[in-house]
Copies of this chain bind each other. A is one copy, B any other.
Amino acid sequence: MARVFNFNAGPSAMPLPVLQQVQAEFLDFDHTGMSIVEISHRSAAYQKMQDDTVAVLRRLMQIPDDYHVIFMQGGGSMQFLMHGANFLKHRGGYLNTGIWSDKAMKAASYYGEVYEVASSKADHFSYIPKEDTFMVKPDTDYIYMTSNNTVHGTQWQTFPHVDVPLFCDMSSDFLSRPVVVTNFDFIYAGVQKNVGPAGVVVGIIKDSLLKHVREGLPDMLSYRTFADHDSTYNTPPVFCIYFVNRVAHWLEEQGGLTAIEARNAKKAALLYDCIDGSDGFYRGHAAKDSRSVMNVTFNLPTPELEAKFVAEATARDLIGIKGHRSLGGCRASIYNAVTEEACQALADFMNEFKKKQ
């Protein structure tokens, strides 16, 4: 079996040792005589696995005891409306740094007033706004942000400090670097970038915030349902949670989030150095001080060259390099499981391609 170099934006590359482990134990989960997809979510074997998943996540991220860790379905898109359904009472403020925060703001507007605390929309979301430009209105229930913007290739380098509850969509850089959980009242992440297969969202939610959940919501729209029932009010996506468990253990074996952050920085530097050293042949989309370590977005001199670049890359098993349809250009997504070898192969190809033109 030949593995390609997978630069998909999500779903995306997973660690090979985890894939091999999942394959090896697929017919017999934890000596139950059943596959992980066959076990009951009310069984001791399931509960032990879910509890362990929460425990590893708590260790990796140093999540304090006054936060619940919950598992939900529906992807980030369901969170775009759920956070509003639960917490938008007066007005919700948005740090609008990309199409995902834009969608979240739109979905939440179903439940109340939304507004931009800051925005880089006028500049094609090419930078992360500075904290001193924030405009926070009175009676703001929360400020919502996206830590990493997959489409535009920007990322918050440090997190803002605000006086209202801060919500963060960490879908695309979850577990890629240490974060101070206590800076946030609510963190969520669809796991299909760094942590597992599409189909589960991890939520980290402060107990004091749960008290403010809107009363009378249908059960499945209320965060309290997931917190009060330990994520098993209904059948959770067992396989996805199990996969997250195995990836989280793999992360611990790699040295945790500080170690993976260093590795990710090294990988990103290979590509950004290539861009910066190309005499303008490759042009990064993101402002330098806002560059993402997860998604490297860039353009070539012409759309024709971009198409040729993507085609030749694909022919060399460098997969997923085409930019998001809303922005065009090129994008290399280099999440946790993308190896340094893969990034070096792409950088080599970029240098070579440039020389040939």
A residues at B contact (CB < 8 Å): 1-4, 6, 8-14, 19-20, 22-23, 26-28, 32-35, 37-41, 43, 73-78, 80-81, 107, 110, 190, 192, 196-200, 216-221, 233-240, 243, 317, 319-320
Q: Other than the known A20-B27, A33-B319, A74-B74, what 20 A-B pairs have Cβ atoms closer than 8 Å?
A: A2-B33, A4-B34, A8-B40, A11-B40, A11-B238, A12-B38, A19-B38, A73-B74, A73-B78, A76-B234, A77-B220, A80-B220, A81-B219, A81-B221, A107-B220, A110-B216, A192-B235, A197-B239, A198-B239, A199-B240
The 4 closest A-B CB pairs, nearest first, are A199-B237, A4-B33, A37-B197, A77-B234
Closest CB of chain B to A213's CB: distance in Å? 15
Beta-carbon contact of A3 and B33 below 8 Å: yes
Beta-carbon contact of B12 and A220 below 8 Å: no
Beta-carbon contact of A34 and B20 below 8 Å: no
User: In the complex, what distance in Å separates the CA atom of A20 from the CA atom of B26?
Assistant: 8
User: In the complex, what distance in Å separates the CA atom of A317 from the CA atom of B32?
Assistant: 10
Residues of B within 8 A of A219 (CB): 77, 81, 107
Beta-carbon contact of A237 and B198 below 8 Å: yes
Beta-carbon contact of A319 and B81 below 8 Å: no
Residues of B within 8 A of A2 (CB): 33
Beta-carbon contact of A38 and B22 below 8 Å: no
User: In the complex, what distance in Å separates the CA atom of A23 from the CA atom of B38?
Assistant: 14
Minimum CB distance partner of A72 in chain B: B74
Residues of B within 8 A of A235 (CB): 10-11, 75, 190, 192, 198
